[in-house]
Amino acid sequence: MRTERIAAVLLAAGTSSRFGDEDKLMADLRGKPVIAHTLEAVASLAFAELVAVARPIAQAPAIHRKLERRGYSVLTNDHPEEGLASSILLAVEHVMPIRRCRGILICLGDMPYVPQSHYNRICLAAEDVRSVVASTDGFSSSPPAFIGRKHFPELLTLRGDQGARALLSRGVQIEAMGSILRDIDTPDDLPDG
């Protein structure tokens, strides 16, 4: 499916509880914040909509500024402690009325190693509104992932931190090369950590 028919949804509302006092999305990775790597890869594709879910602006002012400068509609998750599902729910509710969006591409702000080419492969593998296309490291399904509009009602029932894992496991699997699906959870996950 062409990216012009997809809403890119960037999830960036996590509390960074395992990272310590610093916000992991603003931690330095090769000279720029972790989230900047994801923003640049996603921005290199022409999506119908750019939607981000972040913590309240008082908790993450720099992240809100970066997202707004990149043209994202920023949704605030006032309860990020409720898990990934709470952010997905906000994003789906925002995208549902936008009829030109045939589905969403879920991207995670703490996955800075995913290249534009992998996002593009996922989108190209999505055939229609019934499609579910997930990334895999060969063992489990994960974001980045495309979820077609037909599955939005199911996404609205999600709870907790599992996100859409069960739905993703039933979809087409796009194998990621190397370690591009690594996320940043602790300072030790950074190259200099």
- The CA distances from residue 51 to 91, 104, 192, in Å, are 7, 10, 31
- Amino acid identity, residue 93? E
The number of beta carbons lying within 10 Å of the beta carbon of residue 134 is 25
Write the pLDDT tens digit of every residue in 99-151: 999 999 999 999 999 999 999 999 999 999 999 999 999 888 999 999 999 99
Number of domains forming the structure of the chain = 1
Question: Is it the case that residue 40 has pLDDT exceeding 80?
Answer: yes
pTM over 0.85: yes
Please give the residue range of the domain that contains residue 46: 3-189
Q: What is the CATH number of the domain that holds 57?
A: 3.90.550.10
